[in-house]
Amino acid sequence: MTLLPTYQDVVDAAARLEGHAHRTPVLRSSTADTRWGAEFFFKCENFQRMGAFKFRGAFNALSKFDAAQKKAGAIAFSSGNHAQAVALSARILGMPAVIVMPRDAPAAKLAATREYGAEVIPYDRFTEDREAVTKKIAAERGMTLIPPYDHPDVIAGQGTAARELFEETGPLDALFVCLGGGGLTSGSALSARALSPQAKVYGVEPEAGNDGQQSLRAGHIVHIDTPKTIADGAQTQHLGDYTFGIIRRDVDDILTVSDAQLVDAMRFFAERMKMVVEPTGCLAFAAACAMAESGGLKGQRVGVIVSGGNVDLARYAALLAG
Ligand SMILES: *Cc1c(COP(=O)(O)O)cnc(C)c1O
């Protein structure tokens, strides 16, 4: 049986992150409050270092390395925000980092990861297994593999965003969180249960990739094929043992939204709040809007975690224009 991280681990993570992670703003929108008849509190992790909450979990995990681990460094496989998070954290903590990325990943992403000082090792998505490639390099170089979500230190780090939110707002009636592999949702749930035990906690997935919802209903982790959705940060195929363990205990429900709802939320953030939010970062708010529209949040105080803002501008413009 895996020992699940606790709220105390979130508190310890917050101490490690102090002075390194931004304490991101909690923004309000009177337009949103009026239009949807609830009080919204937006925790804006699109303003976090490297543009997403993932810095929190990666930095917390790398901070806990012992001297030998630090000398050999960290390795991760990712083409998204986790790659940048591990690269930046390693640079700050003065250790080497290797990121295994698909050879055909967007050039901007490869460049950004290298700019943070990581060594990028490309692999062929069609002929090679990225996990096998990563494990081989990790073994050869003695590097520590940091997975994007299913790791106690990653979960504890991600939980610090919701902790900061509740510190600022006090207890809330509901909390909506963007859900991929569940690191952010499970960490947020730890903070919610400690600081706002009455709050309903919802993880929100893309409709096309509702493996988390299926898992919660089935009572075990359900695997799916890589879903087709504009929410590229939530194209995970399954939850992890740690994240599912916390989610099944502490999360009230997992909701889904369509890509069209994500674009509506993205447009609202741009027009009304002057914020660039990536499609995955819109999951939580899109579900909150839907619940409010069906009358489920009347007069309630609602927390929304806006998880990130890293989106290629041409793609962003095309989505908003479409
Ligand atoms: C990774 C990511 C998610 C999903 O987080 P999990 O911890 O995998 O559930 C959501 N939004 C953004 C912007 C991300 O980068």
Looking at residue 102, its pLDDT comes to: 87
Residues 6+ apart with CB under 8 A from 232: 80, 278, 279, 280
Torsion of CA 207, 26, 5, 236, to 10 degrees: 20
Structure tokens at 197: 């035990």
What's the pLDDT tens digit per position in 29-78? 999 999 999 999 999 999 999 999 999 999 999 999 999 999 999 999 98
Tokens in use for 244? 């599912």
Q: Average pLDDT, whole number, for the chain?
A: 96
Q: What atom of ligand 1 comes closest to residue 178's alpha carbon?
A: 10
Q: What pLDDT, in 10s, does the model give residues 260-296?
A: 999 999 999 999 999 999 999 999 999 999 999 999 9
Question: In a 3-state reduction of DSSP, which class is residue 282?
Answer: helix
> Which atom of ligand 1 is the closest one to the Cα of 185?
9
The pLDDT value given to residue 301: 98
Q: What is the CA(205)–ligand 1 centre distance, in A?
A: 10
Q: 84-134, pLDDT tens digit by residue?
A: 999 999 999 999 999 999 888 877 778 889 999 999 999 998 888 888 999
C-alpha 281/C-alpha 309 separation (Å) is: 7
259 pLDDT higher than 90: yes
Residue nearest to atom 4 of ligand 1 (CA): 180
> pLDDT by residue (tens digit) across 195-223?
999 999 999 999 999 999 999 999 999 99
In the chain the first and final C-alpha atoms are separated, in Å, by: 48
Dist. CA 78 → ligand 1 center (Å): 12
Picking from 147, 127, 152, the residue whose alpha carbon sits closest to that of residue 135 is 147
Ligand 1 neighbours, Cβ below 6 Å, are 52, 54, 80-81, 148-149, 158, 178-185, 233-234, 236, 278, 280-281, 307-308
CB atoms within 10 A of CB 322: 7
Q: What is the pLDDT of residue 104?
A: 84
Rounded to the nearest 5 percent, the helix, strand and coil shares of the chain are 50, 15, 30
- At 289-312, the pLDDT tens digits run 999 999 999 999 999 999 999 999
